Structure 1
Amino acid sequence: MALVGALLTMVIPFSLELFAMNRLRALPFALISALDPTLASAVGVFDLHQFFQR
């Protein structure tokens, strides 16, 4: 069951990126891809209340 979960967490985002890459032009796709870590950090801080430690 863990193997299925691990595969799904890799396959679903990858397939969504391929779908977006085919539908978007290069610049918007690159911008969204570049801002992805920033969005993940914001969700971690504001929604999950996780903070960076020094």
Structure 2
Amino acid sequence: MNGAANVWVPRQLVGLGGWQGAVGTIGISDTADSHADQRSDNDACSTMPQSVKDRIQGEAG
């Protein structure tokens, strides 16, 4: 397992053109910095939805 994480994965990333190429395979073409001005929006990735907070609190006991 350690070999995969330290050898195979980096080689695969290089083969895809780095992290940009890897994420591009699933349709991501920009960086988080491209959306920095939207961080405070209610549906931004940096904002945890209330339903998720409620579930975490509920499952934590």
TM-score relative to the length of structure 1: 0.29
Larger radius of gyration: 2
Q: Which has the higher helix share?
A: 1
**Structure possessing the higher relative contact order (Cα contacts under 8 Å, 6 or more residues apart):** 1
